[in-house]
Amino acid sequence: MPANLIAHDTRLEGRTPSGSRDTLTIDVDESTPLEEFFDNAVELALAHVGLNRLSIMAHGVYVRDLDTIAIQFCTEYISFQTAHYFSRLRGLVDHIVLYVCNAAETEMTRRGDGDELCRQIAITANAEVTAARERQEYTSVEVCHFFVDCDTTPIEFGDWEGEVVHYGRDGRVLAEFGEPTRHASPAPTSSDPRFTMRR
């Protein structure tokens, strides 16, 4: 049965959400080569007859010298130069969710590189991609008992901030969702990822 995979670059501070039988987790950092991450992701996908959803939790970064956007994930980052790695997941993942600030930006760079990077990931992986155009908030709290035993709560993203884009496998935009209304129904009938991706 296909599983979900949460991939957390630990430079995004906070504890990785707990895994389960249906949700697997991988932690990476600045010393993890992208190839190693994709080796592990492919192995897990094959062992579980594919992945329903790959959630990537990382920082979005602006590369000033190149006027481009990248995702601070593993040693090399996810960028135009490394997006080809997603071809290894072709046929193995249905949906990629980027919990990354400005991942689908259209105004920070001259060419709207975030939007183009998300399109490239979708096409290369032949998977749907969901990403935000703006900065995303998340919480993780350190809880201490008797000032000795401290633990950090798992990262919680809550609702999306700003515009969210859902790309098809061909890189075309399937849907765009704006700021949620204050009186949103607790069980919306639309498939707004704000209410389905972060729970």
- What are the residue boundaries of the structural domains of the chain, listed by start? 3-196
What percentage of residues in the chain have a pLDDT greater than 70? 82
Query: Is it the case that residue 192 has pLDDT exceeding 60?
Result: no
Q: Is the dihedral of CA 78, 79, 82, 85 positive or negative?
A: positive
Tell me, what's the pLDDT at 147?
62
If one counts every other C-beta atom within 10 angstroms of the C-beta of residue 10, the result is: 15
Tell me, what's the pLDDT at 53?
97
Mean pLDDT of 73-77: 98
108-155: pLDDT as tens digits: 888 889 999 999 999 999 999 999 998 887 766 566 666 667 666 677
Tell me, what's the pLDDT at 143?
65
Tell me, what's the pLDDT at 145?
65
Q: State the chain's maximal CA–CA distance in angstroms.
A: 54
Q: What is the mean pLDDT of the chain?
A: 86
